[in-house]
Structure 1
Amino acid sequence: MSHKYTGGCDHIHTHSDNDPIDNHTCHCSVCKNVTGQDSTHVVFFNHGDVVVDHPENLKRQPFNANNPDGPLELCTCGSCGTPIMLDDKESRIRVIVPNLMGYTSENLAASYHAFYDPATGEPRPDDGRPVHEGLRPDFVWPASA
Structure 2
Amino acid sequence: MAKYEGGCEHVHVTSDAEPIDNHECHCNVCKSVTGQQTTHVAFFNYDDLKVDHPEKMNRQPFNKDNPDGPLELCTCSICGAALLLDDKQHRIRVAVPNVMGYDDANFPEATYHAFWDLTKGYPKPDDGRPVYEALRPDFVWPTPAP
The C-alpha deviation readout for 1:94-137, integer Å capped at 9, x for no partner, is 00000011112223211100000112221101111110000001
Give the equivalent residue in structure 2 for 1:12: 11
Mapping of 1:27-66 within 5 angstroms? 27-66=26-65
Q: Distance in 1 between matches of 2:95 and 2:68?
A: 20
Q: Distance in 2 between matches of 1:97 and 1:73?
A: 13
Identity of aligned residues (%): 65
Within a 5 Å distance, the mapping from 1:121-140 to structure 2 comes to: 121-140=121-140
**Which amino acid in the other structure matches residue 51 of structure 1?**
K
Does the residue aligned with 1:60 lie in a helix, a strand or coil? strand
Paired amino acid for 2:84:
M
Cα distance in 1 for partners of 2:31, 2:3 equals 28
2:54 counterpart letter in structure 1? P
**In the alignment, structure 1 residue 86 sits paired with structure 2 residue 78:** no
Distance 2:139 2:58 in 1: 29
Task: Give unpaired runs (5+ residues) of structure 1.
Answer: none
- The code of the aligned residue for 2:83 comes to I
Deviations 1:26-70 (A, max 9, x none): 000000011110011100000000110000000000000000000
The reply on whether 1:67 has 2:66 as its aligned counterpart is yes
Aligned residues: 144
Q: Which residue of 1 aligns with 2:120?
A: 120
Q: Which amino acid aligns with 2:24?
A: T
**TM-score scaled by structure 2?**
0.96
In 2, Cα distance between the equivalents of 1:88 and 1:129?
A: 27
Match of 2:142 in 1: 142
- For 1:81 and 1:113, locate their aligned partners in 2 and report how far apart those are by CA, in whole Å: 29
- SS of alignment partner, residue 44 of structure 1: strand
TM-score of the two chains, using structure 1 as the length reference: 0.97
Q: Structure 2: state its 5+ residue gaps.
A: none
- 1:10-33 deviation per Cα after TM superposition (whole angstroms, max 9, x unaligned): 100010011000000000000001
